[in-house]
Amino acid sequence: MKLAGFYLLLCLVIAGIVACNKKKQEDKTISNDAAPNPLLETWTGNYNGFPPFDKIKLEHFKPAFEKLLIDDIIRIKAISENADAPTFQNTLEALEKNQVHFNNFLNLFYVWSSNLSTPEFQKLEEDIQPRVAAYFDKIYQNSSLFSKIETVYNSQELKSMTSEQQRLAWKYYTEFVYFGAKLNDEQKKKVADINTQLATLNTKFSQNLLADEQGKFLELTEKDTVGIPAELLTAAAEKAKAKKKSGWIISNTRSSIEPFLGGCPNRELREKAWRMFVNRGDNGDANDNNKGITEILRLRAERSKLYGYPTHAHWRLSNKMAKTPEAAVELLEKVWTPAVARVHEEVADMQKIADKEKAGIKIEPWDYRYYAEKVRKDKYNLDESEVKPYFQLEKMREGMFWMAGELFNMSFTQINDVPVFHPDVRVWKVSDKTSGKQIGLWYFDPYAREGKRSGAWMTAYREQSRFNGEVTTIVSNNSNFIKGKEGEPILISFDDATTLFHEFGHALHGLASNVTYPKLSGTNVATDYVEFPSQILERWLTTPEILNTYALHYQTGKPIPKELLQRIENSSKFNQGFSTVEYLASALVDMKLHLAGNQAIDPDAFERTELEKLKMPKEMVMRHRTPQFGHIFSDDGYSAGYYSYLWSDVHSADAYEAFTEGKGAYDKVVGKRLVDYVFSVGGTLNESEGYKKFRGKAPSIAALMKSRGFPYSAKK
């Protein structure tokens, strides 16, 4: 009897322990579930708040996304089903407030996608990207919500409101119509299905491209290094070390390949490097992009018909400055003929040198950059290796800051009390020089690394606005410069310095923003106008004020000599044929691909055929061959829109003449107009209207042709 009682007591104790442990585990689970997710938190801290990069982990993204979707559906439902009559405040301002948290999440999600793309993140991306597309479709296809937007857009109330509020209403209305708000239910369903498929295909395209850029590289042996400039070898040695290899490695990215092609005397190695680079996404393996491109183009063509447009190009340009593909193609073709003629001249100059050296070759694409440098030396007594020692990355950054102070009245102060997503990233507080008032934060991420996409870009982590309290902007510039030895300055080419100023122009477009609503803030303008502010900023690099003060020799600290400056100026139009044609070929093929409609497209065959029709010089290729054309296949952003760079450059060349016609590059009066009507207004003004307010007239192509050294006659 006592023994039975003992067993009973023992069983009860064990059951109690199990129950207690189970309860503890449940409490632990509840505690974990209830733990704050940094991606759901409001950005707090100094400087008007900042992204909590130090707290974010990969496992935070999916639960944050799920929660934000639920919350957003509830808020959109409340706006669209509000029983009160639609007003600007309860509809448009409510939408502006609603989007803050989801936009913050997406901005940080894309930081990881562009800069920290590990295999684990890519799996997450494959799941989330199609659902993001579906999320936006649900908003744009919400009939009740669109009805309210349309009512506000056509209301008497709007007519008495500010021009910016009227512009916001126009933006919402036209955007909803553009994305299919007026389609019937069956059409909406088809569009949503297409967008989900495209999101998956676009993501896969980007991942394939990144895989080819990081998985393929050129290894050099000791004998391969003969004649290669020392700074290239230093960077290549550091890259090998990062990959835990001996020797030297040339990465399969533009920032590594282009300098190598210009500086490597070994023709066989140049060809290997060139082929590796131009065949990214086109190797018939698991990372091949051709089939995906065929499907992307088919789906885009099908969607454009649902939207009521003959082709994807017609739909995409319907809300741009160009308005029609025909207008864009007309501009491209105007420049094509003189640019090709210049390429033939450039090739002839190269061939003369090759023949003089008894090289026994005909110039091929892998020779272009190498022999172009020889021509530069021969015609202008200018060698890239002579210029590069004066272009230190950090000094160029200082020069950009000084320029921003002169033109935009901004000051930059480096800060160390905000978290960053990688140790390479540094942060500056941006303030008004006169008042000291904070304008925003600027993040700088200059170096190449594994998991980071190639190229250079600007990102807005947060848009400037003031309708819901004063919100300052946060922007970043990201590049892919190759790190050298620790403690040694990073020397960059003149072209790289130009790109640095270009991307900083985008950052200044965001930082200078002075608007009420985030949807109209900063760079939220037409894609064929958004490159204008960045392109005009390139022109300040070559001003004497920058070069004399910041182009300092990395060893002696002495400024670049006047005589060398003159030689740089004399060669300013050098190689414009090459740079213009490689761009134009990409822009024209982009447009032709998206004008092809329902035609089933083999990307490689289509590219070859169109380039043959254009009489593309055989000594060069497109800047972005179709299987690696991230601008147009990573998302819809620049699809049928790569022409935008030339369209914008027509504006930038014409706009800079406003300075040269006045007191020069730092003319305060002209500079103020540029800020007032271009950089600070975001999307609050029609782009053509804003430009005319700045310049007093529409832009002329004449300035562009002059800046590139091409012949031009205004006669039709």
Q: Within a domain: residue 167? A: yes
The catalytic position among 503, 538, 607, 687 is: 503
Q: For residue 302, is pLDDT > 50?
A: yes
Residue 416 backbone dihedrals phi, psi, to 5 degrees: -125, 10
Active site residue 503: yes
Q: Give the residue numbers spanning the domain of 242.
A: 219-278
Return d(Cα 266, Cα 222) in angstroms, integer. 13
Predicted model pTM: 0.92
- Fill in the amino acid letter for 514: N
Return d(Cα 602, Cα 609) in angstroms, integer. 11
Q: Within a domain: residue 110? A: yes
Whether residues 249 and 156 share a domain: the answer is no
Whether residues 233 and 172 share a domain: the answer is no
Q: For residue 188, is pLDDT > 70?
A: yes
As for how many domains the chain has, the answer is: 2
Tell me what pLDDT residue 25 has. 40
> Strand 438-447's sheet: what is its strand order?
410-415, 426-432, 438-447, 473-481, 457-462
Return d(Cα 235, Cα 241) in angstroms, integer. 10
Q: For residue 485, is pLDDT > 90?
A: no
CATH (domain of 107): 1.10.1370.40
Whether residues 62 and 141 share a domain: the answer is yes
Mean pLDDT (whole number) for 212-217 = 95
- Closest by alpha carbon to 53, among 122, 116, 120? 116
Which residue has tokens 């131009």? 278
Last residue in a domain, options 208, 240, 263:
208
Taking only the tens place, the pLDDT of each residue in 503-523 is 999 999 999 999 999 999 999
Helix (H, G, I), strand (E, B) or coil at 476: strand
Q: 475 and 442 in contact (C-beta within 8 Å)?
A: yes
Tell me what pLDDT residue 10 has. 32
Q: For residue 269, is pLDDT > 70?
A: yes
Task: Kindly indicate the confidence band of residue 35, based on its pLDDT and cuts at 50, 70 and 90.
Answer: confident
Long-range contacts of 177-180 (CB under 8 A, 24+ apart): 178/307, 178/318, 178/319, 179/136, 179/137, 179/140, 180/140, 180/141, 180/306, 180/307
Cα distances (Å, whole numbers) of residue 405 to 401, 465, 508, 674: 6, 22, 11, 14
Q: Within a domain: residue 687? A: no
Which residue has tokens 């060139």? 274
Taking only the tens place, the pLDDT of each residue in 160-170 is 999 999 999 99
Whether residues 92 and 197 share a domain: the answer is yes
Whether residues 159 and 190 share a domain: the answer is yes
Whether residues 65 and 199 share a domain: the answer is yes
Q: For residue 33, is pLDDT > 60?
A: no
Q: What is the DSSP letter of 421?
A: S
Q: Within a domain: residue 203? A: yes
Q: 351 and 363 in contact (C-beta within 8 Å)?
A: yes
